[in-house]
């Protein structure tokens, strides 16, 4: 039986060099994430949480350290190999939705399958299954600019799901939504996690982070806390958000 973690990070560091001015965004970060976990990465602006998500999501490379995804040494791969792995194993949900405006909901969700050079035989079934999972199949022929913010985020989640990725990264997924719609989006992510998906949530909001089962807090590029979220705290956070 394979007991290796889905994500293993060892002494990860990232330094940006802007015309000779060096900024250290991450400083010796280390942790594991197991398959099926729901983890929040928290921290104030400038803490390094976005940099960390970009590295974990194969959008950037660290300056030093090691990163293993499903046992594979990520830093040994070429850029084209990273792109293929990213499309196959990772789904992204962004605060700004990142949908194509004059494209239908169906076509937006299908996009990762096209990049994967899929034969297209099962594309429709896979897209419709992803849309049903987030309860927006009745909007499949709408253009994305005809949707509400909450509906756009559901489409973004469906797009992240369509390739059945190993892990879903959600970067401030409720940032552009009202409180009620934000709750609905977090409940979708919670349900996906219950069905076995690994979720990594990046947020600065304590209440949103508390939907996860574990919170990693960053400050000045270092981990200052890595704790399980108590069931009592999660329930309290949900009630508070629903009252707003």
Among 174, 155, 158, 243, which Cα is nearest to 212's? 174
**How is residue 239 written in tokens?**
């009630």
Distance CA 79, CA 105 (A): 29
**In the prediction, which pLDDT does 29 show?**
96
**In the prediction, which pLDDT does 158 show?**
93
Distance CA 159, CA 149 (A): 15
- Provide CB contacts within 8 A for 164, sequence distance 6+: none
**In the prediction, which pLDDT does 1 show?**
47
Report, as ranges of residue numbers, the positions in the chain whose pLDDT lies below 50: 1
Q: Which residue has the tokens 């959600």?
A: 170
């Amino acid at each position: 039986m394979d007991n290796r973690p889905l994500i293993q990070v060892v002494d990860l560091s990232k330094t940006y060099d802007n015309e000779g001015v060096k900024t250290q965004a991450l400083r010796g970060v280390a942790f594991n994430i197991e398959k099926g976990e729901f983890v929040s990465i928290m921290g104030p602006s400038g803490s390094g949480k976005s940099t960390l998500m970009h590295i974990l999501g194969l959008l950037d490379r660290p300056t030093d350290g090691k990163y293993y995804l499903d046992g594979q040494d990520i830093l040994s791969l070429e850029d084209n190999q990273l792109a293929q792995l990213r499309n196959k194993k990772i789904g992204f949900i962004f605060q700004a939705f990142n949908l194509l405006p004059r494209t239908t909901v169906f076509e937006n969700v299908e996009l990762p399958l096209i990049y994967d050079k899929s034969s297209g035989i099962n594309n429709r079934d896979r897209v419709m299954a992803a849309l049903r999972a987030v309860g927006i199949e009745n909007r499949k022929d709408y253009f994305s600019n005809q949707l509400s913010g909450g509906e756009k985020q559901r489409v973004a989640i469906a797009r992240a799901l369509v390739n059945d990725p190993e892990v879903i990264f959600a970067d401030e997924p409720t940032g552009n939504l009202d409180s009620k719609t934000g709750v609905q989006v977090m409940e979708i992510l919670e349900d996906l996690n219950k069905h076995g998906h690994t979720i990594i949530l990046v947020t600065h909001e304590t209440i949103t982070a508390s939907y996860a089962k574990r919170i990693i807090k960053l400050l000045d590029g270092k981990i200052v806390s890595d704790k399980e979220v108590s069931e009592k705290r999660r329930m309290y956070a949900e009630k508070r958000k629903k009252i707003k």
